[in-house]
Amino acid sequence: MDKTHFLHSIFKKENYSSEELELIVAQFEEVDFNKNAYLIEKGKVASYYYFLESGFLRSYTIDTEGNDITTKFFSVNDIVIDWHSYFLKKLCKESIKAITEGRCWKISFSNFMKLFHIESFREVGRTRLINNYFELKNHSISVIADQAKDRYLNLLKEKPLIIQNVPLKHIATYLGITDTSLSRIRKEITL
C-alpha cells in the first residue's frame, strides 16, 4: 500500500481539503520494522507516534518481580503512541516492541504541531485518544472484575487477529493470568 492510499484510509478525503490532505501526508515518514524492534523504549522520551499499516506490536513493562507484563496490543490502523511521553516529554514507563515485522507511518511532535490548526486533524486525534482511554479503562476493570475465561473470550471477540498472531505468553500476561491457566481456558473452549 502506498503512503497516500494508507494515510487517506486514516484521514478521509471528505473531511479535508486537498491542500490539508497534502500537508498531512507530507508530515509522515514510512518505517518498516523487524520482529523484536522497538518503536518506543522505556526510559526514553517518545519522539514519534505511529499509524500501524501492518504487523503487530505490544506495549509492556517489567513488574516489581522482574516479570514482563503486556499492557496493550497494537494491530492494523492503530495509533502506536506513549501519550504521556509524546505530549509532555516525560520518560516512557513502558516499551513498545514489534511482535512481527511490519510497516508504520511516523510523525514527529514538531510536524504534528504543524497540523494542529486543521480542525478535522485535531478531531481524529481527540477521538482516538478518547477511544484509547476507554479501552484502557475497560481492560483495567475487566482484569479486576471479570473471570479469566470471560477476559479471553472478550479478547477473542474484539481482536481475533491478536489471538491468531501473538504468542500465548504475551496474551496471558495481558489477561493477568499464567500460561497454564490460558492453556486450560483454551482447552475448555474447544471442547
Q: pLDDT tier at 14 (50, 70, 90 boundaries)?
A: confident
**pTM to 2 decimal places:** 0.89
* Contact yes or no for 68/36 (Cβ under 8 A): no
Question: pLDDT tens digit string along 32-62?
Answer: 999 999 999 999 999 999 999 999 999 999 9
The superfamily CATH assigns to domain 3-118 is Jelly Rolls (2.60.120.10)
**What are the sequence ranges of the domains in the chain?**
3-118
pLDDT of residue 148: 92
Please report the pLDDT score of residue 12 as a whole number: 85
Write the Ramachandran bin of 60: left for phi over 0, alpha for psi from -120 to 50, otherwise beta: beta
Q: What is the DSSP string of 55-77?
A: S-EEEEEE-TTS-EEEEEEE-TT
Q: Are 148 and 176 in contact (CB under 8 A)?
A: yes
Residues 87-121 have pLDDT tens digits of: 999 999 999 999 999 999 999 999 999 998 999 88
pLDDT digits (tens, 9 = 90+) for 125-156: 888 889 988 988 998 898 889 999 999 999 99
**What does the pLDDT read at residue 190?**
81
